[in-house]
Amino acid sequence: MIAAVTVIAGLAVIFGLALGFAAVRFRTEGDPVVDRIDALLPQTQCGQCSYAGCRPYAEAIAGGQADINRCPPGGEATIRALADLLERDPKPLDPESGETKPKTVAVIDEPLCIGCTLCIQACPVDAILGAGKQMHTVIASECTGCELCVAPCPVDCIAMVEEPVTLKTWKWPHPASPTSLAHAPDPAQAAERR
Amino acid sequence: MSTPRLWRFHGGLKLDPRTTRAAAEPIVTVPVPPRLVLPLSQHVGQPAEPTVAVGERVLRGQPIARPSGYVGAKVHASSSGVVTGIADQPVPHPSGLSAPCIVIDTDGMDEAWEGYEPLDSFAELGAAELRARVRAAGVVGLGGAAFPTAVKLGAGSGLKLLILNAAECEPYICCDERLLCERPDEVLTGAQVLMRALEIGRCCIAIEEDKPAARRALEAALAARGQPGIEVIPVPAIYPEGGERQLIKVLTGEEVPARGVPPDIGYLCHNVGTAAAVGRAVLRGEPLISRIVTVTGEGVAHPRNLEVRLGTPVADLVASCGGYTASAAHLLMGGAMMGFPLADDTLPVIKGTNCIVAASREEIRPRAPAMPCIRCGECAEVCPAQLLPQQLYWHARAAELDQLGDYHLFDCIECGCCDVACPSQIPLTQYFRYAKTELWARDRDRIRSDLARERFEARKQRIEAEQEARKRRLEEKARAAEQARGSEAARKAMIEDALERVQARRNQGDGESATDDREPGR
């Protein structure tokens, strides 16, 4: 009886020490889950999820305070990726946070700009260039299309414009989609096996 | 002559070539049209940058746009005239989109630019000089993909064999066949130049067995020149033998690694049309301003091959072939397997245009509705890249893009064999193209989101640092005030100071208001 208690107690002490040592020795800096969630988010930094950026949202998801369906720019693809990562069931986008829209960039109507710098302060990725009482402009390649600069503008000179499709960014439509080329003549129909 | 040993690539199809009518006719030159439209982006890589301005007069062969990166080619004016626009115009592309083009209104004089000097012989030129001449002439691969030739020539040294591709396996296309029948010498000269530029001692010209006339012409020209190191090899006609990976397999039995290029295993492929263009560029100093295009199908009166200035609208080509017939229903650019439909015939011919098909309704029937996949495996049997098209199809249809990489989607050459083989008429190639462009778009998005994350973090750090600095400043101020408040004398002095400042300002204000009506200066 005493031998058994001693053995069990001894084992408990050994394992306790081993675990304690491992916890100190192999300590991870930061939270890897947050990083992995953050990597899946579109980094629009738009705050539509009600958090102040993608990383805070990632932290909230990891902490269990937020659901995975609150990111409209990421849309269904992001929800699915998050569901895969966290081994949960995917669910439809929360309509409270907004709806998925095509990607846009902000464009400042430069003659109207009064140089108030309010949009510069609102931009989460520093994509607006300008100074007090000087005309501002958007660096289009850095703009995430978050729309956070639109509301603060006192003269309403910022518009969200859809990015034009070029030969480099054009995508073949899904063959089953209504925009597909299925109605177009299919060259392969002209080929005949001999 | 002993027949060299040949190998067989996986899959492929025997297709009806449909070239009999066009291949029998001699090449006809299309007159210079009143308006030329030259797209700035005709191949992979960045679009070229215009070097001329609207209103400027340009001459035939004058460079009008320069490449903006290493992978790029110059664009030359195809005839003399005035640049009337540099703007977006519809371009021949599956998307039907518009892209930046240079528009030239020709003056009919076809005056040549004086910037090139012809050479009597290229024997004294080194590899780098030859490459520079090819680059200056804007030569690109004329087999269809239009990859800049000079870039390919810089591929590496110590190559074993130069392969000139005259396989031309796609139904309808016969521009290379006709070129070999009429101008075999140009091709052989080009082959010599390429061999010298690449420092390769051996070259083989692969031609499909069903083009005997072209082979005879080429062999006769070769015999007349007594060229060492060049041989003509007939290969069996199986689609897609003209794919460079497939052709290398047939000729050598070796396979190009999946993520690699032919020079990795010591081979380099060029189209015969490209070789002829290289020869002309180096010896005659002719830039790439025209090419041979097959115009065929039941929709044109006299199918034939045409020598066409780049930028000529497709309608002019059809007119040179006797116009449309009553049965013309569809217009395609490229062959029956890898071509794409054109919206109308005002689109221009570009460097990669090898064929225009005006097809009748009987030639191109509407695709039957796709039936469910029955997992018969026919597609995998015919796939020349040895992929599993049906697995790719499942994942592409469900938009599960991550799994597609595991099935080597990017090794698909979009030859369309699986489409033809599929008993359920599933448009497999369309699914693969869709998935490829989706994946590329996702890569672009990822790069942008990484950038946004970086900028977001940087901004957060900056704001935190600013707040920290402000807090420190306020604390210091408070501390200073606290210290000053500490001693009675100092406090009195501070009050005195402040009073004095106020008094001084008041006096000054009085003085100014008092001097308002008087002459200034005391």
- The band of A179, judged by pLDDT with boundaries at 50, 70 and 90, is low
Instruction: Flag whether pLDDT at A18 surpasses 50.
Output: yes
* Per-residue pLDDT at A180 exceeds 60: no
A81 and A43, same domain (yes or no): yes
| Contact between B171 and A54 using a beta-carbon 8 Å cutoff | no
Whether A87 and A140 map to the same domain: the answer is: no
User: Does residue A44 belong to the interface with chain B, where contact is any CB pair within 8 Å?
Assistant: yes
CATH (domain of A66) = 1.10.15.40
Residue A6 lies inside a defined structural domain of this protein: no
Q: Please, what is the average pLDDT of chain B?
A: 89
Topology annotation, domain B20-341: Rossmann fold (3.40.50)
Show which of A51, A73, A97 is a domain's final residue: A97
Considering only CB atoms, A193 lies closest to which of B15, B335, B445, namely B15
B488 has pLDDT over 80 = no
Distance CA A57, CA A69 (A): 11
Cβ contact (<8 Å) for A45 and B452? yes
Among all chains, which residue has been given the structure tokens 């592309």?
Answer: B93
Could you tell me which residue, B297 or B21, shows the higher pLDDT?
B297
Reported as a pLDDT band with limits 50, 70 and 90, residue A183 is very low
Cα distance between residue A46 and residue B206, in whole Å: 58
The predicted structure's pLDDT at residue A191: 65
Report CB contact under 8 Å: B420, A180.
Answer: no
| Helices and strands, number each (H, E), in chain B | 15, 17
Q: Does A25 touch chain B (CB under 8 A)?
A: no
Instruction: Kindly report, residue by residue over B250-277, the tens digit of the pLDDT.
Output: 999 999 998 889 999 999 999 999 999 9
Among the ranges given (B82-96, B144-158, B222-236, B470-484), the one the predictor scored with the smallest mean pLDDT: B144-158
Of A175, A184, A190, the CB nearest to B363: A190
> Which structure tokens are listed for B407?
């099935």
- Listed by start position, the domains of chain B span 20-341, 378-435
* Residue of A184, A186, A194 with shortest CB distance to B14: A194
Given pLDDT bands bounded at 50, 70 and 90, which one contains residue A176? confident
Over 90: is that where the pLDDT of A186 sits?
no
Q: What is the pTM of this model?
A: 0.84
Tell me, what's the pLDDT at B115? 79
pLDDT the model gives residue A189: 62
Close Cβ partners of B141 (under 8 Å, ≥ 6 residues apart): B147, B148, B149, B152, B270, B271, B274, B352
Confidence of residue B100 (pLDDT cuts 50, 70, 90): very high
Burial track B486-522 (b if 16+ CB lie within 10 A, e otherwise):
eeeeeeeeeeeeeeeeeeeeeeeeeeeeeeeeeeeee
3 state SS of B37: strand
Which of B325, B328, B422, B379 lies closest to A185 in space, CA to CA? B328
With vertex at residue B141, the alpha carbon angle to CA B136 and CA B147, rounded to the nearest 5 degrees, is 80
A121 near B CB under 8 A: no
CA distances from B480 to B468, B476, B484, B486 (A): 18, 6, 6, 10
Inspect the interface and report whether the beta carbons of A182 and B427 lie closer than 8 Å: yes
Residues 6+ apart with CB under 8 A from A46: A72, A73, A124, A144, A145, A146, A147, A148
Cα dist from B314 to B172, B305, B477, whole Å: 16, 13, 78
| pLDDT tens digits for range A68-119 | 999 999 888 889 889 989 998 888 888 888 888 888 999 999 999 999 999 9
> Tokens at residue B461, please?
């750090």
Do A166 and B171 lie within an 8 Å CB cutoff? no
pLDDT digits (tens, 9 = 90+) for B325-361: 999 988 999 988 888 999 889 999 999 999 999 988 8
pLDDT at B521 over 80: no
Minimum mean pLDDT range among A144-158, A166-180, B284-298, B336-350: A166-180
d(CA B162, CA B198): 8
- The sign of the CA dihedral B61, B62, B68, B69 is positive
Nearest residue of B to residue A120 by CA position? B459
Chain centroid to CA B272: how far?
19
Looking at A32-166, which runs of residues are DSSP E strands? 104-108, 128-129, 137-138, 158-162
Least confident of B120-129, B418-427, B429-438: B120-129
Residue B15 DSSP class: B
Q: Least CA distance to B421: which residue of chain A?
A: A193
Higher pLDDT, B390 or B125: B390
Domain count, chain A: 2
- Model confidence at A178, pLDDT cuts 50, 70, 90, reads low
**Main-chain dihedrals φ then ψ at residue A116, nearest 5 degrees:** -90, -10
Residue indicated by tokens 């096996």: A193
Confidence class of residue A135 from pLDDT cuts 50, 70 and 90?
A: very high
pLDDT value of position B489: 75
pLDDT of amino acid A182: 47
Of B232, B224, B169, B189, the closest CA to residue B9 belongs to: B169
Is residue B485 pLDDT above 80, yes or no? Answer: no
**Residue in A43, A54, A172 with CA at minimum distance from that of residue B446:** A43
- B48-52, B208-212, B401-405 — which is least confidently predicted? B401-405
CB contact under 8 A, A170 and B95: yes
Contact criterion met (CB below 8 Å) for B226 and B185: no
Structure tokens belonging to residue A167: 């030969």
In a domain, residue A5? The reply is no
According to DSSP H, which parts of B137-237 are helical? 149-153, 175-182, 184-198, 212-225
- Calculate mean pLDDT across residues A161-182: 79
Where residue A185 falls among pLDDT bands split at 50, 70, 90? low
Q: Count of A–B CB contacts within 8 Å?
A: 143
Rg (CA), chain B: 34
Give the residue numbers spanning the domain of A142.
104-162
Domain membership of residue A136 (yes or no) is: yes
**Residues in chain A closer than 8 A to B88 (CB atoms):** none
Mean pLDDT (chain A) is 88
Q: What angle do CA A83, A85, A90 make, to 5 degrees?
A: 5
Answer whether residue A20 is part of any domain. Answer: no
* Binary contact (A125, B433; C-beta < 8 A): no
CB A111: neighbour CB atoms within 10 A?
Answer: 7
- Tens digit of each residue's pLDDT (9 = 90 or more) over B362-385: 888 777 888 999 999 999 999 999
For residue B458, list chain A residues with Cβ-Cβ distance below 8 A: 126
More confident residue, A21 or B365: A21
pLDDT value of residue B516: 46
Q: What is the pLDDT of residues B435-461, one digit of tens each?
A: 999 999 999 989 999 999 999 999 999
CA distance B501 to chain A (A): 32
